[in-house]
A and B are shown apart, each in its own frame.
Chain A
Amino acid sequence: MASQPQTFDVIVVGGGPGGYVAALRCAQLGQRVALVEREHLGGICLNWGCIPTKALLHAADTLRRIAHAGTLGIEVARPQVDFARLVARSRQVAQRLGGGVAHLLKKAKVPVFMGSARLGPQLDGLHSVQVEAEGGTAQWLQAPHVILATGARARELPGLPFDGERVWSYRDALVGKAAPRSLLVIGAGAIGMEFASFYAAMGTQVTVVEAQSQLLPSSDADVAAFVRQAVAKDGIRVHLGAVVKGAEVGTGGVSVQLETADGGQSLQAERVLVAIGLVGHTEGLGLEGTRAQVERGCIAVDGWGATAEPGIHAVGDVTGAPMLAHRASHQGLLCAERIAGMHAGEEPPVLNVPACVYSHPPSAAVGLTEAQARATGRPLRVGSFPLEANGKAIAIDEASGFAKTIFDAQTGELLGAHLVGAEATELIHGFTLARTLEATEAELIATIFPHPTLSEAMHESVLAAWGRPLHT
């Protein structure tokens, strides 16, 4: 402890969408707040997740559109992909936004300390945080409140450790030097399916292996079944209910042994992407010296982000599923507001978190799946509407997919909404808003959706759920 520690009201550890948003909100509420970041502002989302993958997937969509331009009456020469430039643009996008976060923090007068944070001893009700910079120099900060927003990293498959060469994590898949001839994706969640879609569009022979019985295991079963058929048309092979039993990394590629219901199988691929989930960054934070609990790789928190240790809070992926940037940001807001004395005496809100998958076709959901809704035992009303019957979808040559809504038949509560097909991820907010405002079917039916838009399918799905569809 070389120098006198700097004192703040709040120290935020981690500059991702949970941490930097919490810091901005703290500053807004008049708190003196510092932010500690180990690698780069913006976190995984901005640097290695949401944003750069969207840049890649946009390129894939554009390529697909050009390839289909002939059906619109536009003849185009066969497009050429410069893979290195495509990846380079994705990195540029990430860097630009990282700079944006730095600017926002500077504008809010939030000092950023680069280095690894570790909780130190408590003194006079203040938590101390040691920040160790890359060169080994250490600095002490202290504050009554610390928000841990350290995020998560890819989970390794036992027996198939990441090597950055043959066995990829999502990070490696973002900066491939060239599209591999073949890619085996282990795990058919959002990350696995997005990379499967991207590399399939780049001409890679993609095979997806999933241990559970459906693609996108947390999605509604109808959506998953639709996506499975759709990705088959993009040339993606799928093995469901398949468990990886062994793997061998050779010079020419990787060989993976699968166990399925109908026996074993061996698959070969040039590279493997392991996307079987994420594990929270809980190690090295000094949590063992506190009452905060770490359960299954995640910090246990209440609805406000408080841990069992007074003054220690956590938000975002490090607090467990659903590991989504927008959920992390929202937790960050609530946590910051609670620290600043807002929401005193209130019950923590039940978060209404939409989930989006940007694969081809994209899908989005909010609330319960039909299976989860059935499990509640409530009487349901379920409606869906196909994009084949939506005028705009036909006009833009995207007439594939559907909207599905699930209501409590007695109360009219919108229990869940599921969209698959063009712009699903841009549309789901309509249903998210409906749920937040506690709209019933009556308000949704009374809402005028503009024509011609894909959103009309949302309206029609509600009408269908209540037995009065117009266009089917």
Chain B
Amino acid sequence: MRRELLVPKLGLTMSEGVLVEWMVQPGDTFRVEQGLFVIESEKAANEVGAEADGVLLEIAAEAGATLPCGAVVGYWDDGLEGGPPAGDPAAAVATAAAPTPAARVPVTPLARRLAAQRGIDLSQLAGSGPRGRIRARDLPEVQAAALAAAACPQPESQAGDLRAPTALEQTVARRLTEAKQQVPHFYLAVEAEVSRLLALRARLNAAQQCLPFTLNHFLLAAVGRALAEMPQLNRVWTDAGIRAFAHSDVGMAVDTDRGLLVPVLRNVGAQTLAATASAAREAAERAKAGRLTSAEMAGGAITVSNAGMHGVTYMTSIINPGQAMILGVGAVREVFRPGRKGQPRLRREMGLVLSADHRVLDGVSALGLLKRITGLLENPLALLVA
């Protein structure tokens, strides 16, 4: 029986997604749960799996298309005998030509277009029209500045080009704004002396044939170990209450073409350095390929955001929404500091800035964690033993 493949609604706030790629082609057979196509929404790219064994008949939307939830992206045959309407090609073509957008959100054509132009998520709105139909007047007003810009067109050089943000950009913007506005951030900065760490890393990499350890692997391991040793700090504020985590999960910021993504590595404090390195490599690859699922980016109280390779000295970060801390990591710099007798001593320092949520942490507790992380980085052999 001919059946439709639809854009799934992958989260409460998802109203549209980008069809990133097709993993099967028309004519291909697939098994239940085999990935068919990849939809990018909010922060994640999600593989959409087959609900049953079947054959892909037709592709109705090309990769790169932005589609509302519920839109038809293609057709497949489930191999079962079915009612005639589903098999009627005319009906199928009609559906494909006019995909019914935004699952069960009735909306006027003008409101739908305005929402797309202003990057407004229609699923978040209450409609004032008949049967809850969303009308143009139900949309939040455009920013005064945008209105003014539209009202009195400025010379091109001043006005710049205006384009609607993608669903991903829109979500990132909203979540970061919320985090920065609603989470009471405070910041602690220290310098870690990493000469021993650099030496250990060089020796480890020289002694093994596998992929090399990076500084980031040590950082993740140090944060995971510190968290495991101080479980009382492994918690986050939620509207429902303070949530404590049993495992020392650590988020890892990954720069991708689609923006910053944060896969969360599980129970890092209980892992060997090699296991952490391997998990981090795989997560980074999946992030860059746009294959992370929402589940892989959920949870954890802390994220490591390493900008050292970009040469920054200190980086003060915004806490990843849903977490309580983020460690901004700067580049290693060689500096002279006065030694015990006042003579200059060469040190290799890494600037660390911990941003913390004051609702669940205070200066003393957060500094305790930061000191422990620093201690592990300065005496890294501890990271090699359980």
Interface size band for A = 10 to 19
Q: CA of A59 to CA of B136 in the docked complex: distance in angstroms? A: 44
Evaluate contact between B110 and A438: CB separation under 8 angstroms.
yes
Q: Which residues of A contact B137 (CB under 8 A)?
A: 347, 350
Does A377 reach chain B (CB closer than 8 Å)?
yes
Q: CA of A436 to CA of B112 in the docked complex: distance in angstroms? A: 15
Point out which of B109, B111, B151 has the most chain A C-beta atoms below 10 A from its C-beta: B109
Evaluate contact between B128 and A438: CB separation under 8 angstroms.
no
Once A347-B137, A437-B108, A439-B109 are accepted as A-B contacts, the answer to whether A411 and B151 lie under 8 Å apart by CB is: no
Does B12 reach chain A (CB closer than 8 Å)?
no
Once A437-B108, A438-B109, A438-B135 are accepted as A-B contacts, the answer to whether A411 and B150 lie under 8 Å apart by CB is: no
Once A410-B117, A412-B113 are accepted as A-B contacts, the answer to whether A346 and B128 lie under 8 Å apart by CB is: yes
Once A347-B128, A413-B136, A438-B136 are accepted as A-B contacts, the answer to whether A377 and B152 lie under 8 Å apart by CB is: yes
Q: Which residues of B contact A437 (CB under 8 A)?
A: 108-109
Once A347-B137, A411-B117, A413-B136 are accepted as A-B contacts, the answer to whether A440 and B150 lie under 8 Å apart by CB is: no
CB of B271, distance to nearest CB on chain A (Å): 54
Point out which of A377, A378, A442 has the most chain B C-beta atoms below 10 A from its C-beta: A377
Per-residue A-contact encoding for B147-163, CB less than 8 Å = 1, 0 else: 00011110000000000
CB of A380, distance to nearest CB on chain B (Å): 12
Q: CA of A117 to CA of B70 in the docked complex: distance in angstroms? A: 58
Q: Which residues of A contact B108 (CB under 8 A)?
A: 437-439
* Residues of chain B in range 14-33 having any CB-CB distance to chain A below 8 Å: none
Once A377-B150, A377-B151 are accepted as A-B contacts, the answer to whether A411 and B110 lie under 8 Å apart by CB is: yes
Point out which of B113, B117, B128, B137 has the most chain A C-beta atoms below 10 A from its C-beta: B113
Evaluate contact between A440 and B109: CB separation under 8 angstroms.
yes
* Residues of chain A in range 366-380 having any CB-CB distance to chain B below 8 Å: 376-379
Evaluate contact between B128 and A413: CB separation under 8 angstroms.
no
Q: Which residues of B contact A438 (CB under 8 A)?
A: 108-111, 135-136
Q: CA of A211 to CA of B156 in the docked complex: distance in angstroms? A: 43
CB of B250, distance to nearest CB on chain A (Å): 46
Q: Which residues of A contact B110 (CB under 8 A)?
A: 411-413, 438-440
CB of B115, distance to nearest CB on chain A (Å): 11
Binding site for A on B (CB under 8 A): 108-111, 113-114, 117, 128, 135-137, 150-153
13 A-B pairs in the complex with CB atoms less than 8 angstroms apart: A346-B128, A347-B137, A350-B137, A376-B151, A410-B117, A413-B136, A437-B109, A438-B108, A438-B111, A438-B136, A439-B109, A439-B110, A440-B110
Q: Apart from A438-B109, A440-B110, list 16 A-B contacts with CB within 8 A.
A: A347-B128, A347-B137, A379-B150, A379-B153, A410-B150, A411-B110, A411-B113, A411-B114, A412-B110, A438-B108, A438-B110, A438-B135, A439-B108, A439-B109, A440-B109, A443-B109
What 10 A-B pairs have minimum CB-CB distances, sorted nearest first? A438-B108, A438-B110, A377-B151, A440-B109, A443-B109, A413-B110, A440-B110, A439-B109, A438-B136, A411-B114
